[in-house]
Structure 1
């Protein structure tokens, strides 16, 4: 049943978003960021997101939709894969305006990876899960977009990893011998496509449920070590999202059944995930986080957005728009959420 949480979150949070009030009022500082709406004309919840530049971004929806913009969100092209109606696209990995991967989640064959190299005019099914016990949550490509990994909730007691060496055109199962055992009830959250991220040659995997931990690989997913985070674990809680720049990492999460509770919902690491320190409270549960620039990062969730300017050691709220995912690139940030909401960062 725990593996259905990723699907249930769409219904629970989308239906409750309008009624949720922030845990604390946002008191913007003079130099805080602010969001500008560039929404997609859809009612789908947009948890899949990748930002290529300030002009180019891709989003994936909760009912088989994929959209692309090349003009900063002024217009969106519906580039949904044929036959994908009803699939839950939770992760997008884009190399540029033409090449992208879209991960759909679910049990059995609902977990798929689609690939396009022509801006979404055509798609191929690069991977279709054939194991009823597997449930893929997140996808991440390494710099250069040749090598990449995707992760499934534990199968036979271990998180399952598949890898690509050809830009996502084909995928192979990684030997599970290099993965530590999962704790009973441990799983990953398919909430924003950032439960699995890469930085340089490293990969990082976040978990929740039976334990709130961070798995680290320094060899493109062949072998992993694992460390406890400081974020509390719960049946619907733990570490939801990770972001790294070099050795500096941030983890955010909480409990999605308590969306206004942000106590101890962040952590930071300065040693490539070897140790984690409590980053203090957020203004609510957060499903996505990313670095904007050195020491500055943004976290988002159903009660709004928080910003840190000290590398994750403290946070403050600055907006109460419900959001699910955030991606920053080249001093530009994009975020997405329920009912087609997409926002871009506008600085004061």
Structure 2
């Protein structure tokens, strides 16, 4: 690396650290009630809405940087920005209007993989290498019993996708070539699913990874809300009960985030607006082998969660009724915004984005 390159990298790291410090120091009232709108500068970190020109619901989100992000949603819609959200390019795959995109994983501004959910052939995977100018359908589910919910990548080549239980076990797809081809993994190492148990395709975060081989799967709908963990890219799994309430098809763990192999956060609750969601947050310090309830959990159902880069303690959780911030690793949360979002994601340069209903997309400003 050149001297100039080292200098730029040092400046970038310094700015990231300053941004995280601003979050950690933000007063409890920062951006309270702003609803994700512009304004409130000087009051601490806050969401700044970016006009997308769309009215669809974006449950899929991939933050590449503060400038570049991808969103994917209903009516087969995929948008991409390369200028921090000032403009958005509609890069939706042709002929996909009847599909429901719920997850997008982007490697950079040109390469991305999107997942469409649904029963049978409605579950599909598309891949682009040219910023969405062209797409290739790389997987189409042919099993009427399968329903794919989420997708994750360990690196630019290796990734997994998960389906709700088929014949009593969760089904896992695997790719080793960046999503160009997929294969169903054997289920010998997969624990049996509980009656009524499934994943939630609410935010693209029911299947998440950290490092080269560790992956976690979130569940709900059964008698307990569980988290499954694999340390070998989906070949074998262990299972642990979370402390988030379940026992109903609308309740469970909706999203996971791990900042490393050990430290994880789970959020969820009951997605029905007229139902309370006590104990909607949980934390793990042993790779998901055990979970403890948040001492001060999010006040309502939350569907998305993300760690802030370069921090061992700060994370954001989002849902239809607001955004919450933790500065102690998920043990306690405070609401910092009242706007509606379904998912949240952060890039290494602290480019944090959120997206949700009615075309809403926002970037965290400092």
| TM-score normalised by the chain length of structure 2 | 0.86
| 1:32 CA displacement | 4.8
1:51 aligns with 2:51: no
- The counterpart of 2:170, out of the listed 159, 162, 173, is 159
Taking a change above 3 Å as real, the CA distance of residues 329 and 260 of structure 1, as seen in their structure-2 partners, is farther
1:326 aligns with 2:344: yes
| Structure 1 residue matching 2:58: 3-state secondary structure | coil
Query: Runs of 5+ in structure 2 lacking a partner?
Result: 1-27, 32-41
Aligned counterpart in structure 2 of residue 281 of structure 1, from 282, 297, 302: 297
CA deviation after TM superposition for structure 1 residue 67, in Å: 0.5
Larger Rg, first or second structure (1 or 2): 2
Q: Contact conserved, 1:259 with 1:302, CA < 8 A, in 2?
A: no
Q: Once the two structures are superposed, what CA deviation does each residue of 1:185-228 show, in whole Å capped at 9, x if it has no partner? A: 00000000000000012000000001300000000110000000
Q: Does 2:153 match 1:146?
A: no
For 2:93 and 2:270, the matched residues in 1 are separated by 32
Which residue, out of 172, 191, 194, partners 1:180? 191
Structure 1 residues 259 and 190: CA distance shift in structure 2, 3 A: farther
Contact 2:340/2:356, CA 8 A, preserved across alignment: yes
Task: Pick from 339, 343, 347 the counterpart of residue 358 of structure 2.
Answer: 339
Question: What's 1:309 paired with?
Answer: 327
Sort the Cα spacing of 1:278 and 1:31 in 2 relative to 1 into closer, same or farther, 3 A. Answer: farther
More divergent stretch after superposition (280-289 vs 316-325) = 280-289
Per the alignment, in what secondary structure is the counterpart of residue 125 of structure 1? strand
Change in 2 beyond 3 A, CA 1:223/1:31: farther
| Distance in 2 separating the partners of 1:259 and 1:79 | 36
Aligned pair 1:254/2:269, yes or no?
Answer: yes
2:100 maps to which of 82, 88, 97: 88
Q: Please identify, of 331-340 and 185-194, the stretch whose mean Cα deviation from structure 2 is larger.
A: 331-340
Inter-partner Cα distance in structure 1 for 2:343 and 2:201: 11
Corresponding pairs, count: 321
Aligned pair in 2 of structure 1 residues 31, 217: CA closer, same or farther (>3 Å)? farther
2:229 corresponds to: 216
Equivalent residue, structure 2, for 1:243: 257
Measured in 2, the distance between the counterparts of 1:148 and 1:154 equals 19
**Contact map agreement 2:104 2:112 (CA 8 A) in 1:** yes
Gaps of 5+ in 1: 1-25
Q: Indicate which of 59, 78, 86 corresponds to 1:66.
A: 78
Contact 1:259 1:284 in 2 (8 A): no
8 Å contact kept, 1:56–1:68? yes
The Cα shift of 1:314 comes to 0.2
- Structure 1 position 63, deviation (Å): 0.8
Q: CA RMSD in A?
A: 1.3
SS of 2:188's equivalent in the other structure is helix
